[in-house]
Amino acid sequence: MKIGFIGVGNMGLPMAKNLIKAGHSLTVYNRTRGRAEQLEPLGARIAATAGEAASGVEALVTMLADDNAVEEIIFAPGSGAIHSLPAGAGHISMGTIGVQMSCRLTEAHHEKNQHYISAPVLGRPDMAAEGKLFIIAAGPGSQVERFRPLFDVMGQKTFFAAEDAPSANTIKLAANFLFTCVIESLAESFSFVQKSGIEASTFLDILTHSFFTAPAYKNYGDLVAGGIFEPAGFRLSLGFKDNRLLIDAAEEARVPMPIAGVIHDRFLAALAQGMADLDWAAISRISYQEAGLVEAAR
């Protein structure tokens, strides 16, 4: 399949590599050109603009960091991808963006007789490299099936959420919220047991070999217990962005989410201490600081 791929950061780069290895023809654009050029030896063509990457393709895959990046890449006058994506082609948005932005994309692509599929992912860069992401796809069912071969290359399982594309973004934001709740609850629990003279690793071993066997507890438990926040699998600044998107969407839906407010303040405190580029599990340091287990960053 002829594919335009925009956004080759920590997640997008391995996803694009897997598509190339599977035999698909990729034209790649990234605002930092050097990232895209890493794919040139594998056979990718490097585009000078987002519009060029979208020209003449069957599918445009975007893996963009936030709504501002989507605004620039898709809607920029003249050079935006929506202006050159062919009628009948599909835009598959795989980054974590806001529900309202997803609604806007749905309407804008419909007006141009293009298809829009929202397909955010669950997983970290190592899972992306192995083609083991979990993909949440929403949009016209026929189009989700049309592009399922691409999803099968990038992920181990694709969930069809709904015909309404923004539903996938709602699910993704809710899922990321649960991850942050896991991180925060682990941090508070570890603080408690450590202040009581029990090693966090001992407590974690008991948890993950009894009733808390989910990968989220094991993987984030290891990071929090070990204080391992570099290299970042998912940057704390992006986690803060996702928390804001969740709160905005919940406000629009008139759904109180008080724990989301607590998580917001954890992110804000961590950002204030210069942790933006650490893994988002570093919000656990705030609980540790409040318990007197570590000093605040200077």
Residue in 2, 172, 195, 218 annotated catalytic: 172
Does residue 195 carry a catalytic annotation?
Answer: no
Instruction: Give yes or no for a contact between 204 and 222, defined as CB atoms under 8 angstroms apart.
Output: yes
SS3 at position 136: strand
Q: How many CB atoms lie within 10 A of CB 291?
A: 15
Instruction: Using alpha carbons, list the distances in angstroms from residue 275 to 39, 223, 240.
Output: 30, 15, 11
CB proximity list for 215: less than 8 A, separation 6 or greater: none
Distance of alpha carbon 169 from alpha carbon 165, whole angstroms:
8
β-pair type (133-138, 155-162):
parallel
DSSP-assigned beta bridge partners for residue 26:
3
User: Where is 135: in which H helix or E strand?
Assistant: strand 133-138
The set of catalytic residues is 172
